[in-house]
Structure 1
Amino acid sequence: MNHDANITLEEKIVRIERKFNAPLKLVWEVWTNPLHLEKWWGPKGFTNPTVEFDFKVGGSYRIVMRSPEGIDYPVIGKFLEITPYESFVMSDLVEEHPEEWVKEVQKMAGVTGDRSILNSKLRVLFVEEKEITQVILITEFMNNQIRDGFAKSGMKEGWSQSFEKLESEALPSPNELIIEKRFAHPIDLVYHAFTDSINIQSWWGPKGFTTTTESRDFKVGGEWIFKMVSEDGKVYPNVIKYKAIKENEYLEYLHGSGNDSPNDDFLVKIWFTPKENNQTIIKMKMIFSSAEKRNVVVNFGAIEGAHQTLSKLNFYLTK
């Protein structure tokens, strides 16, 4: 596959396109989850010490890109439109960018005046074909002069490097799925929710599912046997076999349906990381026997299900 980003200029628009060898829902996840965004946003060598991303219509975002020289380039704006798994539109405001950068871009564009003339609107489109996802960026500027100034300033190079980082740092291996979430709760409380044999069934499972435990032996080599029932009454048998346990740090288990055939089994690794202000990040990695099996569960709704489960956990902890 050609991994180069293609750029074209249209009326007041810079259009950049790039393909990724991953299902659309997975690419959408690394574009809309701030814990993934901070790994890849910005050119090579840049980091993102601040990523605030209230992904809803009317919600605000603020991403502080820090250059290798330590210069911060804050990008701020609001989400104007969101069509899940198709597109979203965000304003891109430069009012916090360094004055030197503003003057340089204005010079390239041959314009003067208030820095707000450099503000733009970005539409991000996602198109999937045979589990290859094309991302299309359509950035609309105030006029063609400003469009050309941004094009000359290294816009293609910057996005190309960001996309390379997205592929190498944010997208998981072809047979893996990674879900991350930040909790406003201390690590011992978050970790204990996974060890509590009585209360775990009150939050485990996607929205609308109920979980009933048949037996649970929370230890290395132990098993948790349970059933999940969907809103339409369909029963899903589950068996978890614990392989590694490190208190307040790490869990590892094999997750299957309990059938004699291991075809549905997959390995789960969960890291618990304490953060400032008594916050905790959960990183959940699911490892499948092949890319095909990973893609099947992604298309079936595994990403949405995992986020709904962790949201139910957050609600449980808040109560």
Structure 2
Amino acid sequence: MFKQDMTVSLEEKIVRMERIFQAPLKLVWEVWTNPLHIEKWWGPKGFTNPTVEFDFKVGGSYRIVMRSPDGVDYPVVGKFLEITPYESFVMTDLVDEHPDEWVKEVQKMAGVTGDRSMLNSKLRVLFEETNGKTKVILLTEFMNNQIRDGFANSGMKEGWSQSFEKLESEALPKTNELIIEKKLSHPIDLVFSAFADQLNINSWWGPNGFTTTTESRDFRVGGKWIYTMKGPDGKIYPNLVEYKVIKDFEYIEYLHGSGDSTKDDNFLVKIWFTSINKNQTIIKMNMIFPNAEIRDTVVAFGAIEGAHQTISRLNQYLN
């Protein structure tokens, strides 16, 4: 099993932390920027995240409420200052809503007094991929070296180390799997019915710029969906779906491939539908490939972006 410890070093006003994950960069980026994944791993062991608001765009805000095992909330808030897709992003890390006791303890460790705003920081997260593995570099910049040292001695390394362990074990999928999760602003019956719709699925299925043409579709266990997708460049992609399990308004499972008997390109797809409230539904899509090499190839080809775009098109279609 791949195991990587985190390294920590001090620079001028900065705590630098690095860790390598056994996953492609796009997959690591996904679990860092999708709130449905963030809630699984953010914070030390034993902490949960009952609130994760993540408007991931320049100028957008975020708010993550970490809840300790004894029920104390530690809200982290800030804004995104810079985003370079699949390379880096920068965000402020404000302690405005942290408990007074925590603020006093950190100030004591740093040997400072005054307004809590002096504990605010800026976090730059960088991603570097080498041979299918991804190095994540955290550069946390403080007001001065004294406050930097106070944070470094307050359990910062231990907290991030445990967060990264959770990211590895609870957010990243198995090496031959890809998991996409997205929240839609529509009730579960409408969302599921769009997948079952024999006639209108062509209206939204596929990434941006793609068109779908159905040859035949039989939405039932044992049934098949034969269709082609035409890319923006005019290239035609044949597809064959064979439905294995269908549970109305809950779950769909199917085998997906090109339909070409000379190719061994089938992979299994599992889709769960979860109702949050009467107007919100979470779709969780798990794609299981024959091996890690094939998974990494489709990730590099754009499978993550394509899946998100398809679900976004579904959301727009339902509007």
Between 136-145 and 274-283, the greater mean CA deviation after superposition: 274-283
1:16-27 paired onto structure 2 within 5 Å: 16-27=17-28
1:278 corresponds to which residue? 279
2:5 corresponds to which residue? 4
Moved runs in structure 1, 4+ residues, more than 3 A?
A: none
1:149-160 paired onto structure 2 within 5 Å: 149-160=150-161
Counterpart residue type for residue 139 of structure 1: T
Residue 264 of structure 2 aligns to a residue in which SS?
A: helix
2:39 corresponds to which residue? 38
Per-residue deviation, 1:231? 1.1
1:249 corresponds to which residue? 250
Change (3 A) 1:72 1:277: farther
For the residues of structure 1 that align with 2:194 and 2:268, how far apart are their CA atoms? 20
Counterpart residue type for residue 197 of structure 1: Q
Counterpart residue type for residue 35 of structure 2: P
| % identical aligned pairs | 77
- The question of 1:217 aligning with 2:218 is answered yes
For the residues of structure 1 that align with 2:21 and 2:217, how far apart are their CA atoms? 41
1:201 corresponds to which residue? 202
Length-normalised TM-score, structure 1: 0.99
Per-residue deviation, 1:147? 0.2
For the residues of structure 2 that align with 1:317 and 1:278, how far apart are their CA atoms? 12
Counterpart residue type for residue 77 of structure 2: I
- The question of 1:79 aligning with 2:80 is answered yes
Counterpart residue type for residue 172 of structure 1: P
Per-residue deviation, 1:261? 3.3
1:165-184 paired onto structure 2 within 5 Å: 165-184=166-185
1:233-312 paired onto structure 2 within 5 Å: 233-312=234-313
Counterpart residue type for residue 188 of structure 2: I
Per-residue deviation, 1:262? 4.8
For the residues of structure 2 that align with 1:220 and 1:2, how far apart are their CA atoms? 41
Residue 263 of structure 1 aligns to a residue in which SS?
A: coil
List per-residue Cα deviations over 1:57-79 (Å, max 9, x = no partner).
Answer: 00000000000000000000000
Residue 139 of structure 1 aligns to a residue in which SS?
A: strand
Cα pair 2:64 2:75 within 8 Å, conserved: yes
Cα pair 2:187 2:277 within 8 Å, conserved: no
List per-residue Cα deviations over 1:233-254 (Å, max 9, x = no partner).
Answer: 1000000000000000000000
Unaligned regions of 5+ residues in structure 2, if any? none
List per-residue Cα deviations over 1:199-255 (Å, max 9, x = no partner).
Answer: 100000000000000000111000000000011110000000000000000000000
List per-residue Cα deviations over 1:103-132 (Å, max 9, x = no partner).
Answer: 000000000000000000000000000001
List per-residue Cα deviations over 1:122-150 (Å, max 9, x = no partner).
Answer: 00000000001000000000000100000
1:112 corresponds to which residue? 113
Length-normalised TM-score, structure 2: 0.99
Between 272-281 and 114-123, the greater mean CA deviation after superposition: 272-281
1:95 corresponds to which residue? 96
For the residues of structure 1 that align with 2:278 and 2:28, how far apart are their CA atoms? 30
Cα pair 2:61 2:78 within 8 Å, conserved: yes
Residue 290 of structure 2 aligns to a residue in which SS?
A: coil
Cα pair 2:188 2:278 within 8 Å, conserved: no
For the residues of structure 1 that align with 2:263 and 2:284, how far apart are their CA atoms? 25
For the residues of structure 2 that align with 1:278 and 1:296, how far apart are their CA atoms? 36
Counterpart residue type for residue 219 of structure 2: F
For the residues of structure 2 that align with 1:67 and 1:36, how far apart are their CA atoms? 19
1:54 corresponds to which residue? 55
For the residues of structure 2 that align with 1:107 and 1:236, how far apart are their CA atoms? 62
1:137 corresponds to which residue? 138
